[in-house]
C-alpha cells in the first residue's frame, strides 16, 4: 500500500477570518512528519481538509461526500466553534483517527 494522500482544499480567501497560511503550513508539516503525501485542491485523496477562511465555506462547495474529511469554516471544525490556535492540531487529530495511526510522542 502506498502513502496516504491528504488534500488540503483551500477557498479563494476573499474574506478570511483565520490565518489560513499558518494552518496550511502546520497541517502540511504534521502530515509530512506522519509520512502522508500532501496535495492541494484535489478531490481524489484518501482524506480531504476543506479549509475556508469564513463561514461561507467555499472550499466545501465541490464536496461530493465520497471521501472522509474535515470541514474548517472560519473558527469552526465540522460546525463546532473552536479556538483558532487549536485548528491545526484538531485537523491533525482527525486525520490520524481516520488512518488509525496513534499520535507520535
Q: Where are the domains of the chain?
A: 5-99
Fold classification of 5-99 (topology level): Rossmann fold (3.40.50)
Give Rg (Cα) of the chain.
13
Write down the number of H helices and E strands in the chain. 2, 6
> Is the pLDDT at 64 greater than 90, yes or no?
no
pLDDT at 65: 82
pLDDT tier at 102, thresholds 50, 70, 90: low
Share of the chain above pLDDT 90, in %: 88
Amino acid at each position: 500500500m502506498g502513502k496516504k494522500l491528504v488534500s488540503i482544499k483551500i477557498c479563494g480567501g476573499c474574506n478570511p477570518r483565520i490565518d489560513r497560511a499558518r494552518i496550511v503550513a502546520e497541517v502540511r508539516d504534521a502530515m509530512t512528519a506522519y509520512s502522508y503525501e500532501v496535495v492541494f485542491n484535489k478531490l481524489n485523496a484518501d482524506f480531504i481538509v476543506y479549509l475556508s477562511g469564513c463561514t461561507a465555506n467555499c472550499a466545501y462547495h465541490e464536496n461530493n461526500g465520497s471521501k472522509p474529511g474535515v470541514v474548517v469554516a472560519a473558527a469552526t471544525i465540522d460546525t463546532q466553534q473552536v479556538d483558532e490556535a487549536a485548528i491545526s492540531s484538531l485537523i491533525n487529530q482527525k486525520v490520524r483517527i481516520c488512518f488509525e495511526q496513534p499520535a507520535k510522542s
